[in-house]
């Protein structure tokens, strides 16, 4: 709705136009009137209307002077002059001042409505053009930010040579004399989002991303999404002391803005050049390994990682292999990985009881967690789990302790073995069901689990075990895959593709598509 101001020294004209012009149907709103130019100028400066209707001859300040003042203060304002036949010379002068049109007295309402309707169309067109320019600028900015984020990510992960990276970076980053990297991860992200639908996860992460940007809008900070629920925040500046203080202040403010989301941050050392972000990345990744010992929802400082009393034990790669083997319930594979684990412990020289006790505790904890995830608490399998755990820990040698741990795991495998084939069948049936119903915007994990006849928790765990992907991620991949086919066919508009792929909101679909592919749907179609 556009605003209109009327200035005329004849009360009859002011009241008549106010009552007879169908302002609403024209998309306009009469916001004020004045009987002289001086009053009109004062109120126009305050109200800033889109359109001014003004008489030429008025007390104190005539129409021509008023138009001149309006052009100085509010150049985009449209002006229509009201004039008599004997004032044509004045009308010519007004036209030179850039008025949009003029109306002769006595005023013909139909003619004036036609003039106002034309102005509405002009204003609509101008607004549309402005929006297009604004949107184009935003898109260009976003494209530039996305490109910069991708370049940073590739370099930090060792995929881009140093010289090429420096050539790609903006001058402001290359000139920066101080750099700090912060890794931010939402605590227990996989478990937290397991029961959420895709849109809820998106809303939560987008809210955090918006807060990350908003809190850092007055700082030189670049946010890079490393993975789901995990972000790299690169801070640069000219002064080391100022930057170090600024980063700590930023984290405190972010926690105040997002008190409902638990997250852990790891801050790197202070570096003097942007190309050190690769070293900083390795530093914060190591720091994440200490989060288990230090606890969640906290800020791990560089001194804690470097020399703050945390003495991390050597990395034993086969601990992860054992844990993955357990999730398959394959005793043969588990046996082999236990033997490799024992060899690794011996080679580290940390084959002490305390160290082995820690590893056993980690494995035992993962077993308990796995059984909870598949909705099969350990108490349903073992009569006295704590007693079985105690039997493991009282063993006096490395081999005996690991052997007892293997027997403990084997008993659980025997109990669950009968379900393996069924679980695999469940995953295959679930994938077929997803393929048949991906276009359903209301498709959820609970719905598919119900169709499979099992609990959501158990289904979620077994589906991820069989496919290597969470339900939400798998569903999104299926939808995006079909979206690509629809887009390349050239037969559907973007919003039609969104609906065909289970997305009721085209904007949300475009955002998800660009996150997965790196390009917008229209760019993918035109490529």
Both tokens of 215, joined, read 């809190």
Q: How many residues are given for the chain?
A: 527
The token pair at 69 is 């003042």
With a CB cutoff of 8 Å and minimum separation 6, the contacts of 181 are 232, 233, 234, 235, 267, 268, 277, 280, 281, 283, 284
pLDDT at 307: 59
Instruction: Give 497's Cβ-side CA count (13 Å radius).
Output: 27
Sheet-wide strand order for 263-267: 221-227, 230-237, 178-186, 263-267, 299-300
Q: Would you say 299 and 291 are in contact if contact means Cβ atoms under 8 Å apart?
A: no
CA distance 48 to 55: 18
Q: pLDDT value at position 134? A: 66
Binning the chain into helix, strand and coil, the percentages to the nearest 5 are 65, 10, 25
Phi, psi of 34, deg, nearest 5: -145, 150
Q: Could you tell me which residues come within 8 angstroms of residue 261 by beta carbon, excluding any fewer than 6 positions away?
A: 186, 204, 207, 208
Q: What is the DSSP string of 134-187?
A: HHHHHHHHHHHHHHHHHHHHHHHTT-S-HHHHHHHS-HHHHS-SEEEEEEEEET
| Inter-residue contact 421 to 465 (CB < 8 Å) | no
Query: Two tokens at 304?
Result: 């804690």
The answer to whether 267 touches 302, Cβ cutoff 8 Å, is: yes
Per-residue model confidence (pLDDT) at position 311? 44
Q: Is 434 in contact with 427 (CB distance < 8 Å)?
A: no
Q: What is the pLDDT of residue 56?
A: 82
Identify the H or E element spanning 419. Answer: none
429 vs 415: CA distance, rounded Å? 24
Pairing of the two strands 299-300 and 178-186:
unpaired
Determine the Cα–Cα distance for residues 486 and 507; give it in Å rounded to an integer.
17
Tokens of 365: 């904890």
Q: Which two tokens stand for residue 432?
A: 């077929």
Q: What is the pLDDT of residue 309?
A: 43
The pLDDT score that the predictor gives to residue 257 is 87
| pLDDT of amino acid 478 | 95
Q: By C-alpha distance, which of 181, 192, 193, 208 is closest to 265?
A: 181
Q: State the pTM of this model.
A: 0.46
d(CA 441, CA 422): 28
How many C-beta atoms surround the C-beta of residue 42 within 10 A? 12
What pLDDT score does 184 carry?
94
Distance CA 267, CA 283 (A): 9
CA dist., res. 256 & res. 477, Å (int) = 35
Cα dist from 47 to 30, 31, 44, 175, 273, whole Å:
11, 8, 5, 46, 51
Sheet of 28-34: strand order equals 28-34, 2-7, 51-55, 78-83, 101-104
Cα–Cα distance measured from residue 205 to residue 212, given in angstroms and rounded to the nearest whole number? 10
pLDDT of the residue at 486: 92
End-to-end, the C-alpha distance of the chain in Å comes to: 39
pLDDT at 141: 52
Residue 6 β-bridge partners: 33, 53
Q: Which residues of the chain have a pLDDT value below 70?
A: 85-97, 132-144, 191, 289-295, 307-320, 323-325, 327-329, 347-355, 372-375, 396, 417-425
Report helix angle 456-467 to 420-437, nearest 10: 90
DSSP string, 380-408: GT-S-HHHHHHHHHT--SHHHHHHHHHHH
């Amino acid at each position: 709705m556009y605003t209109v101001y009327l200035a005329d020294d004849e009360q009859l004209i002011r009241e008549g136009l106010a009552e007879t012009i169908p302002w609403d149907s024209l998309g306009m709103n009469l916001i004020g009137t004045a009987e002289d130019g001086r009053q009109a100028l004062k109120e126009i400066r305050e109200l800033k209307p889109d359109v001014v209707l003004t008489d030429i001859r008025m007390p104190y300040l005539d129409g021509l002077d008023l138009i001149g003042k309006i052009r100085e203060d509010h150049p985009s304002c449209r002006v229509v002059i009201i004039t008599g036949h004997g004032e044509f010379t004045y009308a010519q002068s007004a036209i030179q001042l850039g008025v949009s049109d003029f109306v002769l007295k006595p005023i013909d309402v139909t003619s004036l409505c036609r003039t106002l309707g034309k102005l509405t169309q002009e204003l609509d067109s101008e607004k549309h053009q402005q929006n297009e320019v604004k949107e184009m600028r935003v898109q260009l900015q976003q494209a530039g930010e996305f490109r910069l984020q991708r370049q940073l990510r590739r370099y930090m992960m060792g995929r881009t040579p140093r010289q090429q990276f420096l050539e790609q970076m903006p001058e402001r980053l290359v000139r920066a004399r101080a750099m700090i990297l912060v890794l931010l991860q939402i605590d227990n992200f996989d478990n937290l989002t397991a029961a959420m639908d895709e849109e809820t996860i998106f809303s939560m992460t987008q809210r955090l991303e918006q807060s990350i940007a908003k809190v850092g809008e007055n700082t030189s900070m670049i946010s890079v999404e490393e993975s789901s629920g995990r972000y790299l925040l690169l801070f640069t500046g000219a002064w080391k002391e100022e930057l170090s203080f600024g980063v700590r202040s930023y984290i405190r403010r972010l926690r105040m803005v997002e008190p409902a989301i638990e997250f852990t941050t790891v801050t790197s050392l202070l570096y003097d050049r942007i190309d050190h972000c690769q070293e900083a990345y390795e530093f914060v990744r190591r720091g994440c390994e200490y989060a288990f010992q230090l606890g969640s929802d906290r800020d791990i400082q560089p001194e804690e990682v470097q020399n703050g009393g945390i003495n991390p034990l050597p990395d034993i790669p086969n601990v992860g292999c054992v844990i993955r083997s357990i999730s398959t319930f394959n005793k043969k594979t588990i046996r082999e990985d236990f033997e490799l684990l024992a060899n690794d412990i011996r080679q580290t020289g940390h084959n002490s009881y305390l160290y082995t006790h820690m590893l056993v505790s980690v494995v035992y904890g993962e077993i308990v967690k796995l059984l909870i995830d598949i909705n099969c608490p350990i108490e349903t399998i073992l009569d006295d789990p704590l007693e079985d755990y105690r039997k493991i820990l009282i063993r006096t040698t490395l081999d005996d302790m690991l052997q007892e741990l293997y027997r403990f795991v084997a008993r659980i495998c025997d109990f669950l073995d009968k379900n393996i084939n069924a679980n695999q069948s469940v995953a295959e049936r679930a994938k077929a069901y997803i393929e048949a119903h991906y276009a359903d915007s209301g498709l959820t994990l609970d719905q598919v689990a119900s169709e499979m006849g099992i609990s959501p928790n158990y289904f979620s765990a077994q589906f991820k075990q069989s496919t290597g992907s969470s339900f939400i991620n798998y569903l999104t991949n299926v939808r995006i895959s079909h979206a690509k086919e629809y887009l390349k066919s050239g037969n559907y508009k973007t919003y039609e593709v969104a609906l065909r792929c289970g997305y009721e909101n085209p904007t949300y679909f475009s955002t998800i598509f660009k996150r997965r592919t790196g390009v917008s749907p229209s760019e993918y179609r035109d490529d």
